[in-house]
Amino acid sequence: MATTTETLAIVSGDDVVRVRQKVRVRATEAGLSLVDQTKLITAASELARNTLDYGKGGHADIMTVNDTARRGVRIVFRDQGPGIPDVALALTDGFTSGNGLGHGLGGARRLVDDFDIQTAVGQGTTVTIARWRK
Amino acid sequence: MDSIPILKIGSALLVTIQVDMHDQLATQLQEDLTTRIVEHHARGVLIDISALEIVDSFIGRMLANIASVSRLLDADTVVVGMRPEVAITLVELGLGLPGVKTALNAERGLALIGGVARDEAAAGDGDDD
Amino acid sequence: MAKSAAQGALARLITDGEAEILADWLRTFATGETRISEQEAKAQGKDLLHALGKAVADGNVADIGSPDYDEVRDLLTGFSRSRALQGFSPSETATFVFSLKQPLFERIRSTADVKTAADQLWAMSSLLDQLGMFTVEAFQKTRDELIMRQREEIEELSTPVVKLWEGIVALPLIGTLDSGRTQVVMQNLLETIVQTGAEIAILDITGVPTVDTLVAQHLLKTVSAARLMGADCIISGIRPQIAQTIVQLGVQLNVVSKATLADALALALKRTGRTVEKVNKSGRSDGALAAEMRG
């Protein structure tokens, strides 16, 4: 089966809730275990909030991946915000430029199987995460 | 605007979170609780999160903040009913919520708050209300 | 889809000569080393040949994934599955399909002219290759599932959670704790806490061979998760060498720990408001006896 993608705009706090709900539906469909679902949704919540707060809004592309090798959910968070000057620092626990506990990026990375971040100052940030069915 | 109801049981306040909270609602709850603790001279705050399917760092921070604020106002906060998958995820996220007391369910949580209140009362000079 | 005349001829060749091909096939197959009974081979061969005849007549020989080949694929899957579960090797399994080549080729040679025979041989050869590959893949898949299931069973087996007393559960950990196992252990423990309403969980690590930084971290994660749900953990069974390693590694195990499971249980009982008393032969506790003697 090909991947099906759904794109959600993230411009308000309600959108963060919506991203969580959509990810839950996809994760259930993909057959992720309850713990895996919870981890993926929590990571998505962190990243959607990052997109809203630091990226000044953006989009989330949620897709179900179902090929011969694996089954799961992949999400891409895109924003045109200021970008992250020091990615390594931003991934360190305890680092925060906004108002979280500083677990946003680093924490989200620990909750997923795949994590990729593309960012440059002035050019926005794109974070891709995925969690696969075990 | 929506808000989360706060019930008063004896000297404790009870909050049951039943919705997928957006951030504003969480912030609102934190403010409401602070006001009510002072208003009712509450000795304890019980937050039942058994209906919550996820707790991310924002909600985690809210719980930690409520605990810190209520401690300053001389009330104990007990978070009850966290689901196993939520606990596993929070730990992986790096949020052990060290300053927050926990209990398996509301009944145990109330006993914990009551127990602390009784101990303190017993320690006082015969002030056994 | 238009079926070529060659394909029709091929189908007729299989269907008309079914009995003879089957006999030749089983003979070819029997010359190789095999553990399959003649009867079983005959039954399976017959079904497969019959299904193949129909599939070749209706479907495209170049595409065994098409619905026309459903029955053939089902038969091959079932057959690879049972072979895999019986412990056959992949080549033993595939040989069954490949040994159909010789009888079929011979039949083509004896019935067709040179040009037709070349085309038919090519079509039949590639068809059997596809079926052979499919068999090996189905075999492999069954083996993978088997390994996965055994792994899960071992993980389940090695992490029982036992109820020691009302409100007290113990988790005797045996073997190395990697992140995969920690996940299972944690989940088992937390679910048991919910089911039994336990207030105290004892993690006994007597059976854990080594504790490095990673294992210590895994233990601490389990302790934190249990605490978030409202249950306290006690770690027991830390052997002397392990205690030294933990200190040398500079790991902070900020958890109550006891030398033995018995000590941990005693502490857990005390915390839940119980005491253990020794009872003398008359069935009264020493404390009661002492009180009686005093009285």
CB nearest to C230's CB, from B90, B96, B102: B102
CA distance C231 to chain B (A): 7
- What pLDDT, on the 0 to 100 scale, is given for residue C230? 94
CA–CA separation, C18 and C15 (whole Å): 5
Final residue of a domain: which of C150, C174, C206?
C150
Same domain, C135 and C208: no
The answer, for B38 touching chain A at a CB cutoff of 8 Å, is no
CATH at C83? 1.10.490.130
Q: How sure is the predictor about C17, in pLDDT bands with cuts at 50, 70 and 90? A: confident
User: How far is it, in rounded angstroms, from Cα B17 to Cα B79?
Assistant: 11
Distance separating alpha carbons of residues C26 and C20, to the nearest angstrom: 10
Residue C125 is part of which domain span?
5-150
Q: How far, in Å, CA of C161 to CA of C231, rounded?
A: 14
Interface contact C228-B80, CB threshold 8 A: no
Is residue B42 pLDDT above 70, yes or no?
yes
| Cross-chain residue pair B23–A104, CB shorter than 8 Å | no
Q: Which residues of B touch A34 (CB under 8 A)?
A: 85
Inter-chain residue contact B89 with A103, CB threshold 8 Å: no
pLDDT band at C158 (very low <50, low <70, confident <90, very high): low
Residues C144 and C252 in one domain: no
CATH number 3.30.565.10 is the correct assignment for the domain at A4-132: yes
Q: Provide the domain count of chain C.
A: 2
Residues C146 and C187 in one domain: no
pLDDT at B126: 46
* Domain locations in chain A as residue ranges: 4-132
Please indicate, yes or no, whether residues C31 and C132 belong to a single structural domain of this protein.
Answer: yes
Calculate how close chain B gets to A7, using CA atoms only, in Å.
20
Partners of residue B77 on adjacent β-strands: B45
- Facing residue for A35 by CB, picked from B20, B55, B88: B88
DSSP C67: G
**Contact partners, residue B114, CB within 8 Å, separation at least 6:** B10, B12, B44
Residues of chain C with pLDDT > 70, as a percent, come to 90
Whether residue C248 sits in one domain with residue C139: no
Q: Averaging pLDDT over each range in C12-26, C43-57, C209-223, C230-244, which range is the top one?
A: C230-244
pLDDT band at C34 (very low <50, low <70, confident <90, very high): low
Determine whether the interchain pair B87/C228 forms a contact, defined as Cβ–Cβ distance below 8 Å.
yes
Same domain, C32 and C118: yes
C241 shares a domain with C171: yes
pLDDT band at A74 (very low <50, low <70, confident <90, very high): very high
- Taking an 8 Å cut-off on Cβ atoms, the answer to whether B82 and C228 are in contact is yes
Question: Is there a single domain that holds both residue C220 and residue C248?
Answer: yes
Q: Contacts of residue A100 in chain B, CB cutoff 8 Å? A: 57-58, 61
Beta-carbon contacts below 8 Å between A and B: 72
Q: Chain B residue with minimal CA distance to C198?
A: B104
Compare B114 and C19 and report the one with higher pLDDT.
C19
A93 close contact with B: CB closer than 8 A: yes
Do residue A14 and residue B22 have CB atoms under 8 angstroms apart? yes
The mean pLDDT of B59-77, rounded to a whole number, is: 92
Amino acid at A57: G
| C168 and C37, same domain (yes or no) | no
**Is B22 in CB contact (< 8 Å) with chain A?**
yes
User: B51 in contact with A at a CB cutoff of 8 Å?
Assistant: no
- Continuous H helices in chain C: 5-16, 18-31, 38-58, 70-85, 90-98, 101-111, 114-157, 179-196, 213-228, 240-249, 261-271, 286-294
ipTM of this complex: 0.86
Would C20 be classed as within a structural domain?
A: yes
Question: Are B85 and A37 in contact (CB < 8 Å)?
Answer: yes
pLDDT at B1 over 60: no
Q: What is the second-level CATH architecture of the domain B6-123?
A: 2-Layer Sandwich (3.30)
Average pLDDT over residues C216-237: 92
CA–CA distance, B105 with B107 (Å, rounded to integer): 6
pLDDT tens-digit series, residues C159-193: 788 999 999 999 998 888 877 788 888 888 999 99
User: Are the C-beta atoms of C238 and C209 separated by less than 8 Å?
Assistant: no
Q: What distance in Å separates the CA atoms of residue B17 and residue A55, rounded to the nearest whole number? A: 29
Evaluate if residue C292 carries a pLDDT over 80. Answer: no
**Encoded tokens for C97:** 């399909």
Specify burial of residue C266 (Cβ count, 10 A radius: 0-12, 13-18, 19+).
middle
Min distance C57 CA to chain B CA atoms (Å): 54
Cite the DSSP H helix spans in A30-119. Answer: 34-53, 87-90, 104-111
- Residue C157, in any domain of the structure: no
pLDDT for position C117 = 83
Q: Do A103 and B23 touch (CB under 8 A)?
A: no
**pLDDT exceeds cutoff 70 at C225:** yes
| Distance (Å) from the alpha carbon of B59 to chain C's nearest alpha carbon | 14
A110 touching B (Cβ < 8 Å): yes
Residue C208 shares a structural domain with residue C263? yes
pLDDT, average across residues B78-83: 96
Do residues C146 and C166 both lie within one domain?
no
Cα(B74)–Cα(B44) distance, rounded to whole angstroms?
8
User: pLDDT tens digits, residue range C74-94?
Assistant: 999 988 888 888 888 888 888
CATH number at residue C283: 3.30.750.24
Same domain, C45 and C82: yes
DSSP character at residue C279: B
pLDDT-derived band at A101, boundaries 50, 70, 90 = very low
Rounded to the nearest 10 degrees, how much is the dihedral formed by the CA atoms of C279, C284, C289, C290? 40
pLDDT tens digits, C165-174: 999 999 998 8
Looking at C84, C115, C150, the residue that finishes a domain is C150
